Amino acid sequence: MTVDETIEFLADQRGRRYVEVALGLPAGDDMASLAALDGQLGDVKQLNDRWSIRVCHPEVPPHIVSGFRIRRELFEKADVIAVVPEDPEERGEQGSIWILTILQGGVISEVTVYV
């Protein structure tokens, strides 16, 4: 995915789905987690050469902002995969998930979207 496709994907999820966001560094085939947040995606705002993606949690006052940024000049790549258990009983309450993995400036942002 391009940076524009990534922003469009995130903007389409605003206020509709629960997400978990993990930020980390590559560690072999895995990721060494540095930070995590969860909630619903809020505003996706462009600020010059970067986008600010707000994550709103129902238990956190709205004036406390959590989120992450995507910077065009650091953007390397992004991929999204769907994880759909074949057995409907294994899907649980949340159903399927999409996992968006963004690599920018050597840092991984992994956004899990529950659909």
Secondary structure string (H, E, C) spanning 29-93: CEEEEEEEEEEEEEEEEEECCEEEEEEECCCCCCCCCEEEEEECCCEEEEEEEEECCCCHHHHCC
Q: Is residue 115 a contact partner of residue 96, using CB atoms and an 8 Å limit?
A: yes
**Statement: residue 6 has pLDDT above 60:** yes
Beta strands at 97-104 and 30-47: parallel, antiparallel or unpaired? unpaired
Whether the pLDDT of residue 21 is over 90: the answer is yes
Question: pLDDT digit string (tens) for 40-54?
Answer: 888 899 988 899 998
Mean local confidence (pLDDT), 32-42: 89
pLDDT value at residue 31: 87
For 76-111, give the DSSP string. EEEEEEEE--SSGGGGTTT--EEEEEEEETTEEEEE
pLDDT of 61 > 90? The answer is: no
In this predicted structure, the answer to whether residue 80 has a pLDDT above a threshold of 70 is yes
Read off the pLDDT of each residue in 96-104 and give the average, rounded to a whole number.
91
Is residue 100 predicted with pLDDT exceeding 90?
yes
Pairing, β 18-27 against β 97-104: unpaired
Q: Which domains does the chain have, with CATH numbers?
A: 3-114 (2.30.29)
The reported pTM is: 0.83
Q: Across all residues in the chain, what is the average pLDDT?
A: 87
| Residue with the two structure tokens 């995590």 | 36
- Whether residue 93 is predicted with pLDDT greater than 70 in this model: the reply is no
According to the model, what pLDDT value does residue 43 have?
Answer: 87
